[in-house]
């Protein structure tokens, strides 16, 4: 079987029409054609493949909430736990990061520090030194983020790798081959701005001025570098 993109949601409709969806951006970051990957839209009812046949997985973001414990999400969490136990390379992005933490026994809930959105700085922790994905990328890192829920308690045995002002668990590793990152390595500046524009009124209702966030958006090479490192680590073939 080809490496899997576990699709847990879809991007903004207007953005999808112009730029494609999460799987397109992730594939590009991995340095692969989308046809080299198996996209499994679990949120839309697609059947999860057998764990024994999966060489590696990237889990996408979503507008859903892990804390809602929807049946498809809980099934995906159980599947991810089996993959991690089998030593399969796994990378969880945003919702995928939270789902992976939940699958391994962590806690996911509404971020008590509030919504985090825009181009933000991640400070790498000592545990990130030498990490196959994050080690040596620089410190701090500029990344794109948009989330309301967070991992508020890491799974037992997880290694914390990075934190931001609003999220102390922005990146973690578990075992030898599983990572979760709250940020979106597949987002570029155009995508991030589109999300900020779409969320302007929500941000204002929460007491957050969107204009400074929009002005602060910048491209972040960290994202594509991280995805390429995961592709190399997992042995993806072009």
CA distances to 145, 208, 221 from 93, rounded to whole Å, are 10, 24, 16
As a whole number, mean pLDDT of residues 66-89 equals 98
Phi/psi of residue 124, each to 5°? -80, 140
Tens digits of residue pLDDT in 62-76: 999 999 999 999 999
Active-site residue (options: 97, 147, 170, 184):
184
Does position 238 have pLDDT exceeding 70, yes or no?
A: no
Q: Which domains does the chain have, with CATH numbers?
A: 4-117+127-139+147-187+221-234 (3.40.50.880)
Beta bridge partners of 120: 143
Give 129's DSSP letter: T
Q: By 3-state DSSP, what share of the chain in percent is helix, strand and coil, each rounded to 5?
A: 40, 20, 40
Give the DSSP H or E segment for 76.
helix 71-85
- Give the residue among 223, 218, 186 at the shortest CA–CA distance from 11: 186
184 is catalytic: yes
Tens digits of residue pLDDT in 92-114: 999 999 999 999 999 999 999 99
Q: Is 100 within 8 Å of 92 (Cβ atoms)?
A: yes
Give 91's DSSP letter: E
Q: How far apart are CA 234 and CA 215, in angstroms?
A: 36
Q: How far apart are CA 207 and CA 16, in angstroms?
A: 28
pLDDT score for 236: 80
Does position 226 have pLDDT exceeding 70, yes or no?
A: yes
pLDDT score for 1: 85
Active-site residue (options: 38, 94, 102, 163):
94
Q: How far apart are CA 19 and CA 11, in angstroms?
A: 10
- If you average pLDDT over every residue of the chain, what do you get? 96
94 is catalytic: yes
Active-site residue (options: 97, 147, 186, 220):
186
As a whole number, mean pLDDT of residues 84-91 equals 98
pLDDT score for 186: 98
170 is catalytic: no
As a whole number, mean pLDDT of residues 208-229 equals 96
- The token pair at 55 is 């060489």
As a whole number, mean pLDDT of residues 219-234 equals 95
The proportion of the chain whose per-residue pLDDT surpasses 90, expressed as a percent, equals 98
pLDDT score for 237: 58
Does position 206 have pLDDT exceeding 80, yes or no?
A: yes
Tens digits of residue pLDDT in 120-173: 999 999 999 999 999 999 999 999 999 999 999 999 999 999 999 999 999 999
Report the half-sphere exposure of 172 (CA within 13 A, side-chain side): 27
Q: Is 113 within 8 Å of 167 (Cβ atoms)?
A: yes
Q: How far apart are CA 175 and CA 134, in angstroms?
A: 15
């Amino acid at each position: 079987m080809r490496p899997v993109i576990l699709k847990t949601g879809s991007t903004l409709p207007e953005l999808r029409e112009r730029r494609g969806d999460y799987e397109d951006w992730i594939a590009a970051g991995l340095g692969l054609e989308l046809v080299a990957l198996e996209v499994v839209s679990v949120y839309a009812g697609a059947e999860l493949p057998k764990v024994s046949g999966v060489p590696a997985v990237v889990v996408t973001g979503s507008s859903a909430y892990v804390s809602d414990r929807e049946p498809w999400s809980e099934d995906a969490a159980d599947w991810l736990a089996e993959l991690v136990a089998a030593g399969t390379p796994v990378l969880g992005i945003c919702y995928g990061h939270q789902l992976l933490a939940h699958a391994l026994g962590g806690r996911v809930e509404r971020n008590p520090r509030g919504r985090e959105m825009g181009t933000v700085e991640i400070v790498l922790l000592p545990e990130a030194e030498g990490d196959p994905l994050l080690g040596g990328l620089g410190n701090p890192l500029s990344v794109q983020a948009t989330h309301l829920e967070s991992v508020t308690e890491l799974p037992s045995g997880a290694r914390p790798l990075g934190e931001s002002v609003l999220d102390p668990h922005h990146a973690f590793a578990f075992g030898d081959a599983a990572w979760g990152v709250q940020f979106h390595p597949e987002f570029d500046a155009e995508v991030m701005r589109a999300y900020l524009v779409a969320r302007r009124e929500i941000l204002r209702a929460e007491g957050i001025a969107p204009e400074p966030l929009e002005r602060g958006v910048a491209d972040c090479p960290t994202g594509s570098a991280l995805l390429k490192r995961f592709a190399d680590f997992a042995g993806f073939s072009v």
